[in-house]
Amino acid sequence: MRRVLVAMVFASACLAQEKAAAPVKLYNTTKQKLMEGKQVVCATISSPEPEAYCAVANSGFDCLWIEMQHSVLNYDQVALMVRSCPRASAIPMIRVPDATEGDIQKATDLGALGIILPMVDEPEKAKAGVKFAKFPPVGRRSQGGGQHSKIWGGNYRQTANENIIVVAMIESPEGVANAAKIAAVPGVDVVFAASSDLGSFSGYSPTGADRKGNPQYEALVTRIHDATLEAGKWLGGPFAWKDRHGYTFFQGPGPGALISAGAPVVLGRPAATTGPRRGGPLAPVADPQ
């Protein structure tokens, strides 16, 4: 009898170990594609209309860059957008206003599988982003309510850490100087070279007087590029850089630019040239980041 009990205990322990060692289900298709060496493109969303959000989410993009740093979107609006089409093919990711516990907690609770951290000038900010995006023992994310489990399944708590992507944006010379340290932070998946702000903060125009690449600007970009790839992390940038070596994660255009590009195709007309308008909204920004 004792041998039977010992055998049963041993079998249970082995079964528990097998379960513990079982690979975590990867439902973040954006992360899966990155792991396969593919490029991914996120459409930029900065307005709250669920219909427009869902149309873009199912239009072929890999992910959605939901813009909460440079927009007036609030978390109630974004939660409604995400739950309006929970089975959309594009993975929801949020550029939070800052790497704070409150912002990241709300973003992950509403179902975002990507946290994009702006203005990462030092590794401490990247570490904070990872800490608040991940559950223990990796991080310090609180286990609360939210709609995440309704979207990603009842075992969300056991699978979230493997499925959430953390993106650190380097936008200033200070961040460039710390690029290697930022890229080395455990839990940071993507380092993003913010092309527009690199020029804004450094004072170096991306193009020189001869309309070719500015060597001083390109030196900043190259330093981010080299540090990121040496750390074994994925490298991000604007969609215009899709043909640059090493880049795999891109911020793409938003609904306005997509409509402007798609309407002439539907109408069978040449694309409109950029110029003065008599009314209506402003022209879409070519480089949204």
- Residue 7: inside a domain: no
- Residue 77: inside a domain: yes
- Residue 100: inside a domain: yes
Indicate the Cα dihedral angle 59, 240, 26, 112, nearest 10°: -70
Domain count along the chain: 1
- Residue 286: inside a domain: no
Output the pTM of the full model.
0.85
- Residue 280: inside a domain: no
Q: Quick: pLDDT tens for 32-52.
A: 999 999 999 999 999 999 999
Average pLDDT over residues 262-266: 71
Phi, psi of 40 (to 5 degrees): -130, 145
Q: Quick: pLDDT tens for 125-171.
A: 999 999 999 999 999 999 988 999 999 999 999 999 999 999 999 99
Q: Quick: pLDDT tens for 84-101.
A: 999 999 999 999 999 999
- Residue 279: inside a domain: no
Query: Closest by alpha carbon to 226, among 265, 273, 179, 272?
Result: 179
Q: Quick: pLDDT tens for 180-216.
A: 999 999 999 999 999 999 999 999 999 876 667 899 9
Among 21-30, 65-74, 207-216, 222-231, the minimum mean pLDDT is found in 207-216
The pLDDT, as a whole number, for residue 6 is 39
- Residue 18: inside a domain: no
Integer Cα distance of 198 and 173 in angstroms: 7
- Residue 282: inside a domain: no
Residues of the domain holding 255? 26-265
* CATH code for position 196: 3.20.20.60
Query: pLDDT above 70 covers what percent of the chain?
Result: 84
pLDDT band at 22 (very low <50, low <70, confident <90, very high): low
For the cut 70, the answer to whether the pLDDT of residue 284 exceeds it is no
What tokens appear for 123 in the block?
């590794």
